Structure 1
C-alpha cells in the first residue's frame, strides 16, 4: 500500500556547505547522463518469455494450475504492517507511489520533495522523518557525503530524458517552421524562447546546457552561437523554469519527459521538444537515509522498484527502468560550464511598480483587474532566485506621505534578508497577494511614477547586479495633480540614461484603455521595452514574459 503527500516548496536556505559540495560534485549534477552527441540504445522494458520456455508453456497449458496460482498470488498474512516514508523528486513521485502500492505488509508514504531542498536541509543538520530518498541525481547524495552526512547510495531505479517543454499552444506556434528534430543551431538561430534555471541546482538545466555545448560544435561560428545562447540564458535565468512555463509564460524550459507525461489532461498540458542528439538524461538513485539500512520494508521497496514488472509502470510515466545505456559527463566540461555561468549571471535588483488606481477595480471575467494583477505579481516575482533583490511600489495619485503619486510598500532588498522574523521573499509574497479593491483609488499618475522609479533605481545602482524596473498599468497617464507630459518624461529619461549605471525599464499595459504606442515610446527612451495585454486575463503570461526579458 502507499500513501501520497505532496509538500509545498518553501523558500530554500542555501547553506554554504551544500553549495560547495554541489560545486565539487558538479560532474554528476544530473546523475548518469546520456552520451552526448548521439542516441543511446535502450533495452526493451517489457521482455516476454522465450518461445521455447517450458515453464511458460506449462503455465498456460495446464488448466488445473489456476487454483494453485490463485493461492500463490493471494495477499500474504502479515504478522505486522511496516511503515516506510519516501522523499521523492516530484517528477518521479507518482510512479514510485504506484509501484509501492502493491508492496505486501508495508505501508509506503511517498512525499514529493525537491531534491535540492532535501539536500540543503540535511546538510544544515535537519534529519527528515523518512527512511528512503529518491533524488533526481546521485550528485545530491554525493554532496551530502562531502558535507559530512552519511547516506547509503543504492542502484539507479529509473532514468528520464530531458526535453525542452512548453504549453501546447506555445509549442505549436514556436515550432511551426522548425524541423521535426531540429539541431541546437536551428533552435538558437530561430530564437526559441528558452528559459533555464541555475545549472548548479537544477539537473535538467545542467543537462540542457552541456548538450547545447556539444550539439552546437566547436567551429568559430558554433562558438559564437554558444556564447550568444549562454549570455541570454544566464542573464534571464529563473528560480523555477517549469513554474515559469506553467505560469503561462510563452517560453520553453528544460524538464523531464516524466513531467510532460504528468501534465497530460491538465490546464497546462506540456509538449516536449527533443533536439537532435538529445538534451541529456536524469537518473534517480535509491538512497537509504541514516539509520534506516535495516528498517523493515526498505529492502523490499528497493526490490519492488527494480523488479521486471515495474518497467512498464516506469515507461507509462515517461521514465525507463534502471540506469539505461548512459555515461557520466566530462568533469572538465562541467567545471568550464559552471565557471562560464558564474561569470555571465549577475544577480538582479528589481523594483516592481503596480498601478492601484480606481480603474483597477474593473472586472475582467469573474475577477477584477487588481485581483488578476495580484496573482500575476505573486507568481512572477516568485521566480527570482534567492540572491536577487526585489522591492515593491504601488501608484495612482496622492499615495505618498507628501502627496507623491507612488508609495514604497517594500524597499529593494535581497530575498533572503530577515525582516522581523520573515524573509523579504515572504513579505513580498504577502504584499503581492494582499493587493485588492480596498487599496485601489485615485487616478493614474504614470509619468511622475516612472521617473521617480528610474531615479530611485539609478541612485540605488550597485555594481555586479542587473538593475531593472517592471511597471504595470491599466491606463494612460491621467494625473489630476499635474505632473510631467510624455515629451517631458522622454526628455528626462534620455538625459538620465547612463551606460555606466544602466537601468532596464520594462512597461506592461493591460486592458483596452492602454496606449501601447505611448508605452513603447517611453520605454525606448530609457533603452527598455513595453508589452501589452489587451485582455487583462492574459497579464499572467505577459508578466512572466517581462520578468524573463529583464536583461534584454
Structure 2
C-alpha cells in the first residue's frame, strides 16, 4: 500500500496504518455525547467533576459509528482514569465545515471527521491548517455506478466518462464529485491522455453542470436515475453509498466498477480543528480512534458499508472487492482541480466574431476554410449551456453600417432553442467575400466594446475571434495603436477577454497574441481547420 508523507502544516491523504499504532497517554471516559441535533445525551459511566467538553462535527453517514464508539468509551471502567470526556456530536457536510472554519464562523468544532482529507486544506483560516490526529477511522473507495451496458470501456475514468453520460455530485461540495475529477488527473501518469483529451470531456461536463439551477447533491436520487431502463448515466459515488443503496433496493440492476487505472479513497480522518489546547483534543481524537479499530466496532462498520483503515474488502462479497490505488493528490493538485472546475463551470457572455475575408475561400481538401470554420462553430455551439449568452458577428472590410469592418448577425442573448437556431441559420449561408480584406484591428476593438456594453458580472465575458489571416486594412490603426486602445479599455472589475482562434498558414500568431494579451486573453492556432474543435476546447479551458 502506497504511503504519503505526514506534514503537520498541510496533512492530506495520510496513510491508514497509523491507526494501528495509536499511543495514548491516558484512558478517557466518554460519559455523554450529542444527538444529530446537537442535544446532549448521557450514557452511563461514573461521575466526572472536571469533564473535558469535546464538540465533534462529522459527515452524517458515519455519525452512527462514531456514536457507538463514544458509547463504548463511556462504558469503560478504569479507576486509573484522571480525566473524562463529554462528546457533543453533530452531523454536517464536510464542505460546509471546511468553509465555516476557513471563514472563522461561530461554532467552530474541536474535532472534525470529514469524509475525505481533501477538505482539510480547504479549511485554512489564514492562521493555520487543521491537523490530522487520526489518519483514518474508515475508508470507502470511489466507484462508478451504472447499468452494466454502460461499462464497455473501464480502462480509465476518462475513457468511461467519454463514452457515457457522467452525472457528478457537485465537486465543490461533495467529495465523490471532487475525487472523480482528481482521479482523471491522477490517472494521467498511467495513460497517454493529453490535456486536450481531458478538456474534451471536462469542459462540456462543467458547462452542463454549471448551468443547472441546483447542482447534484443527492446521491440516492442520481443512483435511482442511473438504474432506469436504457439509462446512460454513470455516477461517481462512494462504495459505501452504493452498498447502502443496494441494501435498500435489492431489485436494482446497478453495478459498481473501478476503472483499471485505479481509484481514490474517502478516508474519514479525525481532524483537530480547535483554535487552542490542541494536544488535549488530539489525545481525545486518539481515544476515539482507538475504539474505532476494536473488533467490537468492526462489524458495525462493515454493516454500514465502510471498509477499515487498511481498505480490507467488505464482508459478504459486497462492494467491488480489492482495489488498486491511484497516486494521492497533493494540496496543489486539489486546489488546481477545484479552481479549474469553478472557472469552467461559469456561464459565458460571449460574442463570436468570424472572418469572412477573401482568403476564407481557399480550399482544404474538398471544403473551404469558411465551410470548415462554420462546422467548427456549430459544433462549438453545443458546448455552451442554455444559460450562456452568445451573439454572432462576421468581419472583413467595409461590410457593415457606415462602412464598418464588421456586421452584426445575431445580438448577444441567452442560448434558448430559438437563439441557437438564429445563430445556426445565420452561419449556414456565410461565404468568403471575394477580394475582401481582413479588418482585424477595428473589429477587435468594436467587439470588446460591444461585450462590455452588456457586461454580465456572473459570467465569463469574452470575444471569440476566428480568423485565417492578419490585418490588411490600410485605413485602420496600427498594431501598436490597437494594443494601446485595448489596454485603455481594460477594466479589472469588468474584464472582457479576447480569445483568438487562428487557422491556416497565413495567421500571424504574434499579432493575435498581442491583441489577446492586451485584454488578458489568449491566442490559439490550428494549422488545419479540421483542428478547430481542439483549439476551441483549449480556448474554453483558458477562460
Give TM class, smaller chain: 0.3 to 0.5
Higher relative contact order (CA 8 A, sep 6+): 1
Scaled by the length of structure 1, the TM-score of the pair is: 0.44
Scaled by the length of structure 2, the TM-score of the pair is: 0.45
For the pair shown, the structure with the greater C-alpha radius of gyration is: 2
